[in-house]
Structure 1
Amino acid sequence: MRVRIHRGAREIGGSNIELEHAGARLLLDLGLPLDGESSDPACHPDIEGLAGGGSLLGLVLSHGHRDHTGLSHLAGPDLPVALGAATLRILQAASAFVPDCHVPANTITLTDRQPLTFGPFTVTPILVDHSAYDAYALLVEAGGQRLLYSGDLRGHGRKGALFERLLSNPPRDIDTLLMEGSSLGRLDPDRTFPSENEIEARFHALFQETAGLALVAASAQNIDRVVSLYRACKRAGRTLVIDLYAAEVLAATGNPRIPQSDWPGIAVFVPHHQRVRIKRSGRFDLIERHGRNRIYAEDLAAMAPRAALLFRHSLLPDLDRAGCLTDARAVWSQWNGYLRQPRGQALAADLAALAVPLAHAHTSGHASIPDLRRLADAISPRWLVPIHTFAPEQFPALFGPSVRIEQDGTWWECAAGSYPFTPSHPSSSRRCSDQACASNRTGLGGSVQRE
């Protein structure tokens, strides 16, 4: 099996991997660069047959973030696109509000640890903990070789048990582990990120200190964060206020344990720009579906000292006009790098002009370096290839001689060379000899004899 990283070997974002075996090809993710525009041809990978026909058999999307799905519109309508069922529903929900949100037409559903076949390729999705709901690592087998693509994952979210399950029951005999390294270069090797429980506690403390409305700038598609926010609101005696977009995304999870628009302690506020969009599109069903707990601007102003709003910059004019910002506090609950970009700078300036202080409460959607080391030790791959990182050169010192740094656009063999893996932790009990690793290819969750 041959592998080519089109983008991601030396950057976070725009992830796209092409696999080839016996004349057939398969794509893993088709993402938009963090600083790119989906309509910009300079961002489009050079993939033969992407628009349709030829030897390309399918596209498998690990999760719904734009840096992994944002160029999926380039795939022709006949190309099968595999993704999680909840991911598809969330994309469908978002498309009513986000103009350039593409929803694939020819879809196949991923199910945790249930294999799919694309010609000579067998793909087994493994549900993981990530800030995107319904995210998967992908095990790909072809020609007797096995590649595990981590996708984006972490161990400190509300689904951290999935990370521990992966460590305790990993796929065995992996020739290449394509492992994300988002935290390298921005986190000390021994540091860990705060847990979602800690973010919940931070929210609660900030709410206790805030006399007026709490404006929490978080992504509605970060379901873990919405859960943390809802739990903090309950602890602080505040109502969580969401807009129609967030209400639709939460409903699209299909999970009855996720907060919904008709739950006690939740209110739905429809800002002006969403009312305009609904009138133009005729989607009055959205208001009907989420109308049970609907409130209006005057209601929000009255309940502001006892409310927290899932906030975006576009809501600020409505809040200002309604007089909701007296003693308000904003809480930034996303990657801080966004605040350094023009849109983030504009938000910070507008908040400052309105005398709304800005606090921070966030944790990463990506694994800390200690957890990445635990993952590499558990998988014990023949080769570990960095992806989704700005710092591939840091991998060898952290993960040992199994690291093989590849370049964007270059084909390479999944199982080339000898078996160099040694655990990154000297105390680890996982050791791998060539003899043991060449035998007992037992499949997902099987066991292997180690010397």
Structure 2
Amino acid sequence: MSIESSGAFRVRIHRGTRQIGGTCIELEANGQRILLDLGLPLDADGVSDDLLPNVEGLRGEDPSLNAVIISHGHGDHWGLLPLCNPGIPLVMGAATARIMSAAAPFAPNFFAPSVSQHLSDRTPLQIGPFRITPYLVDHSAYDAYALQIEAAGRRLFYSGDIRAHGRKAALFEQLIRKPPQCIDTMLMEGSSLGRLNEHDQFESEKEIEARLMENFKGPGFVLISSSAQNIDRMVSIYRACKRTGRTLLLDVYAMEILRATGNPNLPNAGWPNLSIYIPEYQRRHLARNQRFDLLEPYRSARIFREHIAEIADRVVMLFRPAMTRDLELGNLWNNARAIWSQWDGYLEAGPGAKLKADLLGRGIRLEVIHTSGHASIADLKRLASALNPRRLVPIHTFHGDRFSDHFENVTRRDDGEWWDV
């Protein structure tokens, strides 16, 4: 059954009013619709058709679905795209699209998008009755956007995932200084509620770099587990290596992600204190898929396992569990130390818990050096105050019922509920 327009600008959140991840928001005006994000839930076992929200046009043809707009490149915001009708126009940042395409050859669950239009900071797009203004924001994903949507004389602002303590914190301050005006409804993420006290702050990325530098001053071969797509963290690790005289070893996947940003100021082949190591699992994978072209840009900076052992005390390796065999073959476990530089919740189950147990079995303690990709409560309060929406709707949070303790004009909504902006 098609949607009948009442002339209003309407919204329904399919997933996100009571959980973090799997975000999907449907907007409708004048009988036309768009989706903001189409994420895979964090607790999903994998991509499956039953996870697709009940949105007409996702599986079959429906011309009233004008586009899916992806705020940033984390899978809990785009991970269900591979299940969709490929004819639906797709909109995201240009660097986000390049990073997703660069990741695709390395893992079965990745997706190389075909993009109709790109998001660009404060450059409006018109899609059907919707005028969309993206705002580049600070987040642990590169090329992340908040979105202002105007339709039928009303304005909605979607924060996406946002923070104020990363390397792009100036973007948050710019948004606070020059916020969009006359916002009727603001959908604001609340990932930090329930994780942080009201007056506490997450460590800044500069503080993380300082902690890494202090760690790297110690002896031994350092393994660091971090997402290669957390570009801020890759920069922090590289800078800490350079300042302590260590060499950072990155694999081809990490190098391809950095190159896909299109940013010449990020570490690349030929930079000092940087070498490329191709682990066995990755070498076999690329050979099996005949992707020798991905190796070519890095030949001059490549280091082999035998040489790593000779300089191990001056090395930091970006490490994932699939590299365990490489360390055994290279006799690199002796005098090794390990750092976990991503969300510590991943250590409680699955591959993270298995890695932690494996390291402990080898007598290696795993030190956590990480900060959140999401804003503190104090910074969320600054954001809400600057935009001063008539209505504030919690999203991307397990603790939406606590919003009224910190913010004005809070209205709770349920997943699947249509309401007017």
How far the C-alpha of 1:122 sits from its partner, in A, is: 0.8
- 2:5 alignment counterpart: none
Aligned equivalent of 1:197: 206
| Alignment partner of 1:98 is 2:107 | yes
2:345 & 2:63 partners in 1: Cα distance? 40
**Aligned-partner Cα distance in 2 for 1:133–1:299:** 33
Tell me how far apart the structure 1 counterparts of residues 45 and 266 of structure 2 sit (CA, whole Å).
32
Verify the 8 A CA contact 2:49 2:83 in the aligned structure 1.
no
Cα deviation, 1:4-57, whole Å, max 9, x if unaligned, reads 000000000000000001100000000000011443233221111113333100
Q: 1:165 maps to which residue?
A: 174
Q: Which residue of 2 aligns with 1:88?
A: 97
Q: CA deviation at 1:151?
A: 0.2
CA–CA separation in structure 2 for the residues paired with 1:261 and 1:154? 30
For residue 412 of structure 1, what is the aligned residue in structure 2?
419
Q: Does 2:183 match 1:140?
A: no
Query: What's the CA shift for 1:188?
Result: 0.5
Matching residue within 62, 69, 73 for 2:78: 69
Letter in 2 for 1:53: D
SS of the residue corresponding to residue 39 of structure 1 reads coil
Report the equivalent of 2:243.
235
2:224: which partner in 1?
216
Moved more, 58-67 or 105-114: 105-114
Deviations 1:97-150 (A, max 9, x none): 011111222431111111111110011110000000000001100011000000
Opposite residue 236 of structure 1, the aligned amino acid is T
Q: 1:27 aligns to what?
A: 35
Retained in 1: the 8 A contact 2:21–2:41?
Answer: yes
Alpha-carbon contact 1:237-1:306 (below 8 Å) kept: yes
Residue 292 of structure 2 corresponds to residue 284 of structure 1: yes
Residue 110, structure 1, aligned to residue 119, structure 2 = yes
Aligned residues: CA RMSD: 1.0
C-alpha separation in 1, matches of 2:115 and 2:266? 28
Conserved 8 A contact 2:97-2:115 = no
Q: Deviations over 1:421-451 (max 9, x none)?
A: xxxxxxxxxxxxxxxxxxxxxxxxxxxxxxx
Write the distance in 2 (CA, Å) between the matches of 1:157 and 1:39.
Answer: 30
Q: Is the 8 A contact 2:146 2:158 kept in 1?
A: yes
Q: Provide the C-alpha distance between the structure 2 equivalents of 1:170 and 1:106, rounded to a whole number of angstroms.
A: 28
Amino acid at match of 1:151: G
Structure 2: any 5+ residue segments left out of the alignment?
A: 1-8
Rounded to whole Å, the distance in 2 between the matches of 1:129 and 1:334 is 17
Aligned partner (choices 401, 404, 407) of residue 399 of structure 1: 407
Query: Partner of 1:291: helix, strand, or coil?
Result: helix
2:188 corresponds in structure 1 to 179
Q: Is the 8 A contact 1:212 1:325 kept in 2?
A: no
User: Aligned to 2:171, what secondary structure does the other structure show?
Assistant: helix
Asked whether the 8 Å contact 1:133–1:223 carries over to 2, the reply is yes
Q: Is the 8 A contact 1:181 1:386 kept in 2?
A: yes
Is the alpha carbon distance of 1:21 and 1:369 closer, same or farther for their aligned partners in structure 2, counting shifts above 3 Å? Answer: same
Aligned equivalents of 1:342 and 1:281: distance in 2?
27
* Pairs within 5 Å for 1:9-20: 9-20=17-28
Please give the TM-score of this superposition, normalised by the length of structure 1: 0.90
Post-superposition CA distance 1:311-344 (Å, at most 9, x none): 1111121112201122111000110100001211
The residue aligned with 2:270 is 262
Structure 2 counterpart of 1:237, which letter? G
Query: How far apart in 1 are the matches of 2:392 and 2:205?
Result: 29
Normalised by the size of structure 2, how large is the TM-score? 0.96
SS in 1 for 2:13: strand
